[in-house]
Amino acid sequence: MKVRRRDFFKVTFAAGAAAAINGTSMNALAAGTPITKKSRAFGGEWMASTCQGCTTWCPVEIFVQDGRAVKVRGNPYSKQNDGKVCPRAHMALQQVYDPDRLKVPMKRTNPLKGRGVDPKFIPISWDEALNTIADEMMALRDSGEPEKLALLRGRYSYMRDVIYDVLPKVFGSPNNISHSSMCAEAEKFGVFYTEGKWEYRDYDLDNTKYLLVWGCDPVSSNRMVPATIQRLGDVLDKATVAVVDPKLNNTAAKGHEWLPVLPGTDGALALGVAHVLLTEGLWYKGFVGDFKDGKNRFVSGVKVDESLFDEKESYGLVKWWNLAVKDMPAGKAAELSGVPAEQIERVARGLGKAAPNVCVWMGPGCSMHPRGAYSSMAVHALAGLTGGVDNVGGSLQSSSIPVNKLDKKLMKTFQDEVALKHTKFKKIDQRGYLNLPAISKGKSGGGVSTNNVANGLLNKDPYEIKMIIGYMNNPVFANNGTERWEKALSAVPFTVHLSTHASEFSQFADIVLPCTTSMFEKLGYTKTKANRYATCTLLQPVVEPYWDVIDDETEFPFLISEKLKDRGFSNLYNALTTMYKDPESGRKAKNSKEFTEYALKYYTAPLWDGKKDVGGDKINGWQDMLKRGMWNSDPYQYKKQWGGKFKTVSHKFEFYSKTLKKALEGHAEKHHVDVDRVMEESNYTVRGEMAFVPHFEPPLRSGDMKEFPYMFIDYKSRLNREGRSQNSPWYYEFKHVDPGDVGWHDALKINPADGKTLGIDDGDPIRVSSIGGSVECTARLWEGIRPGTVAKSFGQGHWAYGKTASIDYNKAQARGGNNNTLIPWELERLSGSNARNGGHALVKIEKI
């Protein structure tokens, strides 16, 4: 806040002089119409928006009273969450009203960058901030190197097209880098190279007879949390629930079976289950097919003649058996995975009995590790074997959401020669390099490798990045191997961070820009699915922001485009105002608010403009859309991909992945090597045909087990708003809702037997160290973690954040420890993913 008028300082000292009420200036106050208690409107209103606390992206309603958001519930129209929300939505109230939020644009005054080095931020006007940023961008254009601008995306809405696509592409940079590979690209890998969809699945809990949860905790995280909370009780009554997780998570605690797998050995366990299903003739023949004569020839260790089997919806079952499954009987799987053979057999038999109404719910725990791509395939192959793929009570794909797409053709007309040329340059994450295939959707370098940006920046390979614009992200905290990011970001000459809160990333920023909170203040939309329904749900400004904030994905690009236009580069402004006209009036936006509204209307128009019957909810115009805040599709129709419509090379569900073979061979050919070399460069051990089937890979562990004898695993709290709730006191107050956790502590779960060996008691302060780094936290002796493995919730350990998340910012003193400091930098290279699971971090534990 500034003093805006000089007469605010004026003082009259003359004794007895009348105080001139009209002559004295006000600064932050102004005359208004008196509102008496009687004339004030009381009550409140439920207003629709969207919670982005996890990737369920729940349609919600917020009760707004006297301009304040006071309560949250699910949007009663929603068929994906039945009008219910999980704790995350409520916690958002402490984010929007957090005194530590970014309030005004600020700039660094200390040129030195690093942990514990105060950037000495001072407030600046929006005009100064935008002018400075535009000058830096123009310098890159003027020197013919627009590719040296990188746009790092974090949590997004689907308004992302504007900041993530149009801005960099019209400007001339190929470096629009998403955060996707930090989440679960290795998980999508397994699904794509079996089922042909690079997507998360939906799950038909209402009709399942066997729920096999693998490497996640669906009532606390993953992608349909409220619907699962609502249904798990019924599922437990009428189906079997088995959970594979080294830690007793919420679902495991309620389930019928807990399979405490040795971290990183999920591939062996899945193959062991497959072995039982096949040798005992329990696979679902309506999907997979059968031996032509009906006689089961799957005998442990014995090869089978492919020609004897007649497959229906799948491809390569016998090849898979011969290459990988036949040699993984339950006993061997038990040895490798630590799960008892009888339990493997019992679960497999249960699956076989329940088939095809089997729901294999795969999460990142089994896939996001250095050799996790094949674990992911192996787990998803069980969905195929049991016929639960795309089937009643199984794992489903999604109905489409018929919103408008980014008009790439029109966008291209605004790209000048420089932009067209430079957007084709290699990207800073080195995707598609020999040792980083990132073969998303079958294409070499088709996927992002977010954590490898740190290497690209450090090594200036393929070139130097001179400017970063990042939004709603914190890569230096959220990627494993934080030290590497700290070094990399320290060396970037100019960084802009758009966020609701300053964080470790802001510590390396030159300018920080305050943004709206997505649930309460932002205008936009997301697409989501759960419970058989696809949903388009709006983010809406249900309260007036009380600080000077903007919408990151739309207002920022628009405001920058105006500044670039002032400097002679009008392509971006012209692109935005032309591409996103108001679909109703045809008008071009005159300011950033109007632009945001027009862009949202452009995208969502097919859902409400009544021009075409798109199915699902009937919405009568824009105002109706705003009021309802969402659209539901018709329910997903089962078996849409059956009948040869899988998007794989064979058009079948692939146990032997022709799709992966094509992709790997394509990548190998690009680098003039063979697939074996690709496997070697990508940290995988198998050679030959094994590369094309789900198989077991011995887990890669970082560190010497003699020095670091415990496997560390990371998990997500049900209170984590994607790592953004650590400044909320409620996070700590209620932390005990996560099994094994303790309020106001960052607790490392240690099996009591290990505690005894270590001489560590419950509640002891401890130091945990790996080859990546050390953190300090609290010991929690707990039977819910398998011996030899220790677990800690992701989220705490912020050394540059608000007053609750950090103990003392000035001393860079964190509350708790960041798991990503412990987990050394590593990738799952075939998908480009962060390797943050599977126990690849080995640790030692010391009492302090």
* Residues in contact with another protein by the rule CB under 8 A: 1-3, 6, 8-9, 11-13, 15, 18-19, 21, 24, 26-37, 40, 66-68, 93-94, 96-104, 106, 109, 120-123, 501-502, 506, 512, 545-548, 729, 800-803, 806, 808-809
Least separation in angstroms between residue 109's CB and another protein is 5
Query: Minimum distance between the CB of residue 719 and another protein, rounded to whole angstroms?
Result: 16
- Provide, rounded to whole angstroms, the least separation between the CB of residue 544 and another protein: 9
If the CB atoms of residues 93 and 539 are measured against another protein, the closer one turns out to be 93
Nearest distance from residue 210's CB to another protein, in Å?
Answer: 44
* Smallest gap from residue 559 Cβ to another protein (A): 16
- CA pair distance 788, 262, nearest whole angstrom: 9
Question: Cα angle at 815 between 812 and 489, to 5 degrees?
Answer: 45
Token pair in block for residue 340: 């008892």
Nearer to another protein by Cβ, of 283 and 801: the residue is 801
Q: In the complex, what is the shortest distance from the CB of residue 476 to another protein, in angstroms, rounded to a whole number? A: 14
Q: Give the nearer residue to another protein in terms of CB position, either 3 or 308.
A: 3
Amino acid at 337: S
Residue 592, beta-bridge partner list: none
Name the token pair of 176: 């629009």
Alpha-helical (H) ranges within 647-792 are: 658-670, 675-681, 729-733, 752-758
- Closest to another protein by CB, 70 or 302: 70
For residues 37 and 295, which CB has a smaller minimum distance to another protein in the complex? 37
- Residue 6 Cβ, how far from another protein at the closest point, in Å? 6
- Partnered with residue 827 across adjacent β-strands are 834
Measured from the CB atom, the residue of 113 and 661 that comes closer to another protein is: 113
Q: How far is the CB of 120 from another protein (least distance, A)?
A: 4
* Of 31 and 848, CB closest to another protein: 31
Run of H or E including 512 = strand 511-514
CB of 28 vs another protein, minimal distance in Å:
4
Amino acid in position 768 = V
Say if CB 492 and CB 529 are below 8 A apart: no
Whole-number Å distance between alpha carbons of 653 and 465: 42
CA separation for the pair 658, 217 (Å, rounded): 32
785: helix, coil or strand?
Answer: strand
How far is 169 from 572, CA to CA, in rounded Å? 9
Instruction: Give 79 or 88: the residue with its C-beta nearer to another protein.
Output: 88
Residues contacting residue 142 through CB under 8 Å, at least 6 positions apart: none
By beta-carbon proximity to another protein, the closer residue of 109 and 620 is 109
For another protein, which is the closer residue by CB, 128 or 342?
A: 128
In angstroms, give the least distance from the CB of 806 to another protein. Answer: 6
By beta-carbon proximity to another protein, the closer residue of 636 and 801 is: 801
Instruction: Answer for the pair 763, 778: CB distance below 8 angstroms, yes or no.
Output: yes
How does DSSP classify residue 281? T
* Close Cβ partners of 394 (under 8 Å, ≥ 6 residues apart): 203, 204, 208, 356, 357, 358, 359, 360, 383, 386, 387, 388
| Cα(414)–Cα(393) distance, integer angstroms | 48
Q: Which is nearer to another protein, 34 or 759 (CB)?
A: 34
| Whole-number Å distance between alpha carbons of 673 and 444 | 14
What tokens appear for 420 in the block? Answer: 């067209």
Using DSSP bridges, classify how beta strands 494-499 and 533-539 pair: parallel, antiparallel or unpaired: unpaired
| Closest distance to another protein from the beta carbon of 63 (Å) | 14
Residue 467, SS3 per DSSP: strand
Q: Are strands 202-203 and 176-177 parallel, antiparallel or unpaired?
A: unpaired
Q: How far is the CB of 511 from another protein (least distance, A)?
A: 11
Take residue 524 and report the two structure tokens written for it. 């936009």
End-to-end CA distance of the chain: 45
Instruction: Tell me how far, at minimum, the Cβ of 36 lies from another protein, in Å.
Output: 6
Q: Is 590 exposed, middle or buried (0-12, 13-18, 19+ CB in 10 A)?
A: exposed
Beta bridge partner(s), residue 414: none
Residue number, 56 or 796, with CB nearest to another protein = 796
DSSP structural state of residue 165: I
Which run of H or E residues covers position 360? strand 358-362
Question: Could you identify the residue written with the tokens 């630590």?
Answer: 338
